[in-house]
Amino acid sequence: MNALHTAAIPIIADPILRADGLGRVFSTRAGEVVACEGIDLEVYPGELLVVRGASGAGKSTLLRLLGGLDSPTSGEVWVDGRLYSGLTQEQSVELRRDDLAFVFQSFGLIPVLTAAQNVELPLRMKNVDATARDARVAEVLALVGLTDHAAQLPDELSGGQQQRVGIARALAVRPRLLIADEPTAQLDSGNASVVMDLLAGLAADGIAVVVATHDPDLAARADRVLELHDGRTRSQPARHRA
Ligand X SMILES: Nc1ncnc2c1ncn2[C@@H]1O[C@H](COP(=O)(O)OP(=O)(O)OP(=O)(O)O)[C@@H](O)[C@H]1O
Kindly list the residues in this chain that would bind ligand X in the complex (CB under 6 A).
26, 28, 33, 35, 53, 55-61
Q: Which is nearer to ligand X, 22 or 168 (CB)?
A: 22
Q: Which is nearer to ligand X, 19 or 141 (CB)?
A: 19
Q: Which is nearer to ligand X, 133 or 224 (CB)?
A: 224
Distance CA 42, CA 216 (A): 22
Q: Which is nearer to ligand X, 123 or 219 (CB)?
A: 219
Distance CA 181, CA 213 (A): 7
Residue 221 CB-half CA count within 13 A: 20
**Closest distance to ligand X from the beta carbon of 35 (Å):** 3
Q: Which is nearer to ligand X, 59 or 149 (CB)?
A: 59
**Closest distance to ligand X from the beta carbon of 141 (Å):** 29
**Closest distance to ligand X from the beta carbon of 26 (Å):** 3
Burial zone of 209 (CB within 10 Å; 0-12 exposed, 13-18 middle, 19+ buried): buried
Phi-psi region of 216 (alpha: psi -120 to 50; beta: other; left: phi over 0): alpha
**Closest distance to ligand X from the beta carbon of 200 (Å):** 21
Burial zone of 227 (CB within 10 Å; 0-12 exposed, 13-18 middle, 19+ buried): middle
Q: Which is nearer to ligand X, 85 or 106 (CB)?
A: 106
Closest CA to 139 of 47, 205, 210: 205
**Closest distance to ligand X from the beta carbon of 66 (Å):** 12
Distance CA 63, CA 51 (A): 9
Using the Cα atoms of residue 27, residue 32, residue 33 and residue 35 in order, give the sign of their dihedral: positive
Using the Cα atoms of residue 210, residue 214, residue 215 and residue 221 in order, give the sign of their dihedral: positive
**Closest distance to ligand X from the beta carbon of 57 (Å):** 4
